[in-house]
Amino acid sequence: MTLAPSTGNPGDTLTWGTDSFLSSTITPTLFLSHTLADNVVEITNPINLNNVTRTVNVLDNTSSIYDYAKLSGVLSSTTPASGALTKTGAGLLELSATNTYRGATTVSEGTLKVTGSIAASSGVSVASGATLSGSGIVPIISGAGLVSPGASPGILTAEQVDPSTGLDFAFEFKALGSPDYDYVEPASSINDVLRITDPNTPFTQALSSINGNDAYIYFNMDVLYNGAYKGAWYTDKGSGFDGSITGATYHYYVYGDGTGPTTFNNVKYWALTAYYPGALVSVSTVAETANFGLGDVHGYVTQFSVTGAVPVGGGGVIPEPAALGLVGIMLLALRGRRRNG
């Protein structure tokens, strides 16, 4: 459902708190979607936040994957360095315009999906249990929530990352090798990428288990081949950043037969070592020239090197997880018989 509230002419800018748009002596909350909704609710008008922190609450229908809210008009503010946005509610809010408000952006609950830009904002903070996603442009990211670029998959661009209060990250990989860095289609990158543009200090400090930084890597493929998978963090800084990321706690998953117990983006995954007991993954950064739409960037990208899975070009049937366990039991029994013989 698309809404275009009008102050006289369709498409006029709505000024929050005036023109009969959420006008109240008490700072009102804009409620969008419903716990029974099964479609998109979209407001197309530009909205002036009117120099105040505004709250958008998006409810969620847990039985539907199609319900979310979208603000496609520009969010602005009349006074420099003012006007802020807080996202509440368990649902998903998408911001698709190039927004110009300069105050803070806070994701308190649910998911904020940025497919446009909130780069003018002073920063985006993601609370524990909340998620920042999308294929747009954001300012410095901080908080204790989850940063999950794209929408299966995609490129999210940020100015900096501040992981000091426990930010977590989730990346989806669909192929060996490098992502497609074509920023004309940032939602079609093959492998997820969080591009960080600060040329000097992409991470304000290193990811670490002490800070509680976890990285979830999802290999969305039925057969996982040995080799190098590039994606996740990409920095415009022209040198490696291994020391900034290797201290995180990594969790690896694979799609396999698609019946695993862990769900990410509505897809079921197996823990990597449950599906491939001998698989190992090492993390490093390598030089990578990428074009995000404005010419070549000579930066560095994260590389996940997989061994112990399936050789490239290798055939054969991949055993089911239960079968892998059975094989292990049989081998142990055989070894026991040989020792007793």
Tens digit of each residue's pLDDT (9 = 90 or more) over 26-80:
668 898 877 777 778 899 999 999 999 999 999 988 877 778 899 999 999 988 7
What is the pairing mode between strands 296-307 and 227-235? antiparallel
What pLDDT sits at residue 183?
A: 60
What pLDDT sits at residue 23?
A: 67
Residue with structure tokens 């040198």? Answer: 239
Residue with structure tokens 């897809």? Answer: 267
Amino acid occupying residue 182: D
d(CA 219, CA 196): 22
Distance of CA 173 to the CA centre of its chain: 12
Which of 7, 15, 72, 8 lies closest to 44 in space, CA to CA? Answer: 72
What pLDDT sits at residue 293?
A: 85
Could you give the strand order of the β-sheet that contains 53-58, starting from the edge strand earlier in sequence?
A: 29-32, 53-58, 84-88, 105-107, 124-126, 141-143
What pLDDT sits at residue 325?
A: 45
What pLDDT sits at residue 184?
A: 62
d(CA 234, CA 189): 13
What is the pairing mode between strands 262-264 and 267-271? antiparallel
- 126-145: pLDDT as tens digits: 999 999 999 999 999 999 99
Low-confidence residues of the chain, pLDDT below 70?
1-10, 19-20, 23-27, 182-184, 187, 314-341
What pLDDT sits at residue 327?
A: 38
Give the H/E segment covering residue 295. none
What pLDDT sits at residue 209?
A: 96
